[in-house]
Structure 1
Amino acid sequence: MQLHLKLLLLAGMYTAGCNSSPSQQQAADTTNAPVSVETVETSNGSTFKKQGTLAFVSKSGADTLRKIDIQLAQTDQQREDGLMYRRSMTDEQGMLFIFPDLEERSFWMKNTYISLDIIYIDDKMEIVSVQKYATPLSEQSLPSFKKAQYVLEVNGGFVDKYHIAYGDKIAYIKD
């Protein structure tokens, strides 16, 4: 079976397992044979590596809405790999993509197993666009619609949960 079909099958099995009750999961665990999952090492690694801290600052500049640890994607290869093949991430983590220029961006979720909120940020560190609850493993284009120099990926639902909005700003420091 081709790799992408295996990955789709595994994603479907994972989703079904998340939506079942504990008794259903226990029954499924006793009847299904173990499935081996291929681990793919990317230039970013397969686990989170803290490389800095990022703060979300309200439009007024008076309040820090949330602080998270970030992993940086600064090279072409790191930006291409992004969060692909990651199986989980906490709300205290995200990946900040840093581009050398300001232009319209577009991301997709190919080989990305977790739902993400994709936050597009301009050269003034202001949030200009958000794509919420991106569908795992989708190849649908998720455009910024505005020029962005930074892109931040966080767990799907993060933006709503922590009331992050257009016009809010970010500030980050590298470790």
Structure 2
Amino acid sequence: MNVKIMLAIFASLYISSCQNQPGRQPAGSADTAATVSTIPSAPAGSGPEFRKEGVLSFISKEKGDTISTISIEIAETDDERARGLMDRKSMADTLGMLFIFPAPEEQSFWMKNTYISLDILYIDQNMEIVSIQKYATPLSEESLPSFKKAQYVVEVNAGYVDKQKIKYGDKIAFRKD
């Protein structure tokens, strides 16, 4: 996709999100009528397009300030959670996937059919990071357990956690678009 077209798409997404400020839901609240936009996450032929369904922020446990914010695709049905980021060949560092489970329980992910090395963050019902699996090996069927109960899981590119200095005990806040 040509750079000018990509910039025009990002500009229009930014402008539309700014115009929607007054009616935004608080972080972590559910909005049943979600607006979905497609964001180029990689060159054509690199797997499924990223569908922006919300925004997620990582919050410091020490100061309560925002560490970083990413656009998220949300997986909240069994089929969406099973598919995850499979078949994608790359993903921008500003993107990630949020998995939402009905109740907190020990989780375990694997990298079958996932070509991108990922950092996997397990989050409890209080939105606190309880476990992190860094630099998951692409295409591996090795189990990557949470070791603690988690109701949410966030997948980002490998190295993101180290680069942003995200740690156990930090929190997340998200909103659906």
TM-score using structure 2 length: 0.73
User: Unpaired runs of 5+ in structure 2?
Assistant: 1-44
> Which one of the candidate residues 72, 76, 86 is aligned to 2:78?
76
Find out whether 1:56 has 2:55 as its counterpart. no
The equivalent residue for 1:150 is 152
User: Unpaired runs of 5+ in structure 1?
Assistant: 1-38
Give the secondary-structure state (helix, strand or coil) at the position aligned to 1:80.
helix
Dislocated runs of 4+, deviation >3 Å:
none
TM-score using structure 1 length: 0.74
Give the secondary-structure state (helix, strand or coil) at the position aligned to 2:135.
strand
- Cα separation, 2, equivalents of 1:174 and 1:79: 17
The equivalent residue for 1:90 is 92
CA shift for structure 1 position 40: 10
- Cα separation, 2, equivalents of 1:74 and 1:62: 27
Find out whether 1:100 has 2:89 as its counterpart. no
RMSD: 1.4
Q: What is the CA deviation profile of residues 31-51 of structure 1, one whole-angstrom value per residue up to 9, with x for unaligned ones?
A: xxxxxxxx798xxxx111100
Q: What is the CA deviation profile of residues 92-123 of structure 1, one whole-angstrom value per residue up to 9, with x for unaligned ones?
A: 00000000010000000000000000000000
- Cα separation, 1, equivalents of 2:165 and 2:94: 15
Contact 2:106/2:149 (CA < 8 Å) preserved in 1? yes
CA shift for structure 1 position 91: 1.0
Q: What is the CA deviation profile of residues 64-83 of structure 1, one whole-angstrom value per residue up to 9, with x for unaligned ones?
A: 00000000001000000000
- Paired residue total: 133
Contact 2:51/2:73 (CA < 8 Å) preserved in 1? yes
The equivalent residue for 1:126 is 128
Find out whether 1:140 has 2:142 as its counterpart. yes
The equivalent residue for 2:111 is 109
Identical pairs, percent: 66
Letter in 1 for 2:126: K
- Cα separation, 2, equivalents of 1:135 and 1:143: 14
CA shift for structure 1 position 62: 2.8
CA shift for structure 1 position 154: 0.2
